Chains A and B, each alone.
Chain A
Amino acid sequence: MLLKNRIISKLHYYMIVPAFLLFTIFFIYPLLRGIGLSLTDYDGMTKANFVGLDNFIEFFNDKRALNDMKTTMLFALGSAPLLNIFGFLYALLLDRKFIGKSVIRTIIYLPAVISPLIMGYIWYFILQPQRGFVYSIIESVSSNAVEFNWLGNSTMALWVIIIVNVWQFVGMTMVIYLAGLQAIPEELHEAGKIDGATYLQSIRYITLPMMIQPIKINVITNIIGSLAVFDIIIALTDGGPGYSTESLSIYIMRKCYGSFTGYSTAVAIILFFIVLIPVIISFKYLNSKNVEM
């Protein structure tokens, strides 16, 4: 064989190399450096000194950081289930042939196409007391509108953020569930009906077990996405009032900007573990429910 042919015939072994090379340079290398940085007190300007695990210890002593961790987790706990429940319900609703199905599907997905930042700004405008859209409507209907300021109240604000987030991305979850629903052979449902199963029972015993794969994809992506939440909070409340709706990602960015570079990397590593644990748990749990065709 010609040398050229010999090389070409072996090329396929290297097909993964470009992707992996890019990945190594721009992800793995910074990641490793990050782990290194997290053990220093680097502030972006002066020399970095090794401080061991000080950054990590400081995190657990910082009231604001712990609160942010709580906020982030609450956000994920609120968002991920709602996204999946509503996504699934919507998918069930849309799982028929009807005119305009693809139009409706596109429309419901559409909010997910917008940057969460812009979506946040739109909702901020809608919800502003005194001048927002909702306020105008409430005002024209009742006269008790004065006390409404959802974004100014720490607990309400978090709920608002969760709801806006679900609103925006439920289309994405729905589309994946729809794909899963379509893959279930009709015969299974018919067999169920013949055996006298009610609608709810057929969902529980036929549909759900067949949907493990889409459920896995959705749950895991939603967990990862919610724990890293950033844009939408900045737009709606800027982390406020005070720091009550600040998420860990925002905290990391602010600390990094505020010259606590080493520290912010450490917090980022902590965030990684916060993501890792639920993902592994869900993964294992869902894998155990896998149904063989």
Chain B
Amino acid sequence: MTTATVPAPTPSARGALRRAKRRSTALGLLAWAAGLAFCLPALWMLLTSLHAESDAATNPPSLFAPLTLDGYRAFFGADTGVTPWPPLLNSLGASFFSTVLVLLLALPAAYALSIRRVRKWTDVMFFFLSTKMLPVVAGLLPVYLFAKNAGMLDNIWLLVLLYTSMNLPIAVWMMQSFLADIPVSVIEAAQVDGARLPTVLARVVAPMAAPGIAATALICFIFSWNELLFARVLTGVVAQTAPVFLTGFVTSQGLFLAQLCAASVVVSLPVLAAGYAAQDKLVQGLSLGAVK
């Protein structure tokens, strides 16, 4: 079929081609317009963070006001002498350690739900997902009372445990999907060679599921970093995380828009960077591994 030479396009076909091209360019422009319009609030946030406070809150908006780093300086403690590094490090620590713990728990669990499935594995998967649907705020008080009595208030490890439980269902679902893609023959070959489960997991499964593990890690990191409610209620001075610190810039007495935007930009940077760098992994993660 394909060996026949393609005939030269007739005039009408050429016209159709031009129309198609024009439509294509038009749609491309529309996509650009949509992208910019949709991202406008975020771009506005960036611009406002570079304005002085008095310029940030004018009506009509001052687009071309002089740029300044005052907002960032305020965020980094020029007025109060308080630096944001402790909360940022706390957020980093909580997100990192909870992600590591989640992976350590989820990988074997996913193995037991995909490669060597337990009976009623669908029920187990349902159970995991159903815990995601429970309103966390209802369980907040018992956790608070327990933490208070155990002396674990204002302790970053409490947050690590809670974030782990928050992300574990997602991670199990994702890893289950990624591991189910691994050809069984590879694993069998390893087992025939006498490898035990941890070795199989570490030497055979993990490298093959590495992209999946990366996607899982990315999503868990993002959700832990963003979490606000537990952090606000259960932490105080020592373990305060970045989102809570961010809310402290809102004041009912005075202008704060530029500072707040600067704070938002800095606090969102890690998530933005991670998300931009791994957009494909982001899709896989968000869809619990169903979309690859």
Partners in one complex: no
A residues bordering B, Cβ < 8 Å?
none
